[in-house]
Amino acid sequence: MADAVTSVSVVGISGSLRSASFNTGLLRAAAGVLPPGMALEVADISQVPLYNGDVEARGFPEAVLRLKERIREADALLFAVPEYNYSISGVLKNAIDWVSRPSSESPLDGKPIAIMGAGARLGTGRAQLHFRQVAVFTNMLPINKPELLVMGAVEKFDPRGNLIDESVRERLRELLGALARWVRRLRGEAG
């Protein structure tokens, strides 16, 4: 069955907690342009506490266990990465730090991912590069192209953080198509 489309489940993670976040809005928009066979659910990282090795030694918090499980079950992850002080946001790094522990049981290990971001003039380029550095040690497997850096986000989203720019929507569609192909390639499927 050369044309069979196998399913690809994706968990989306936004590095911004604000309700009108452009980055969370990008994830919502992604749900509207999924390629055939792909499903996307957005994970909530707002309840993940600050990483503390003493807390880890006593037992992982519920919110962390839930996030780890969702990531483990997903075929791929889609990260929406806001840029804070030329890097990724603390809440995103903190969530990654928790999920990566213990490294021998990290659900990030070998996980196919795509990275995108919406911001000001440089469209989160510096944050996305930093995120790729984090992906090296955690052994996530990012696609390199296409890139999705949404510049001038304030003009491309409405005040509630909903995407209103059709060219960004089209690039989002291309990114998701590339992620689906990447997952299927890693599975050893044709195409």
Minimum distance from CB of 86 to ligand FMN (Å)?
5
Distances (CA, A) of 121 to 111, 117, 150, 155: 30, 12, 9, 11
Q: Among residues 100 and 128, whose Cβ is nearest to ligand FMN?
A: 128
Q: What is the smallest separation between the CB atom of 49 and ligand FMN, expressed in angstroms? A: 20
Q: Do the strands 83-84 and 8-14 form a parallel or antiparallel pair, or are they unpaired?
A: unpaired
User: With respect to ligand FMN, which residue has the nearer C-beta, 76 or 116?
Assistant: 116
Q: What angle do CA 81, 10, 182 make, to 5 degrees?
A: 90
Helix (H, G, I), strand (E, B) or coil at 113: strand
Question: Distance (Å, rounded) from C-alpha 148 to C-alpha 118?
Answer: 8
Q: How far apart are CA 80 and CA 73, in angstroms?
A: 19
CB nearer to ligand FMN: give 122 or 141: 122
Taking the complex as a whole, the smallest distance from the CB of residue 95 to ligand FMN amounts, in Å, to 15
**Which residues contact ligand FMN (rule: CB under 6 A)?**
16, 18, 21-23, 82-86, 119-120, 122, 153
Q: What is the closest distance, in whole angstroms, from the C-beta atom of residue 127 to ligand FMN in the complex?
A: 7
Min separation Cβ 84 and ligand FMN, Å: 4
Nearer to ligand FMN, 21 or 128 (CB): 21
The tokens describing 85, both together, are: 């002080």
Smaller CB distance to ligand FMN: residue 92 or 140? 92
Q: Which two tokens stand for residue 135?
A: 């992906």
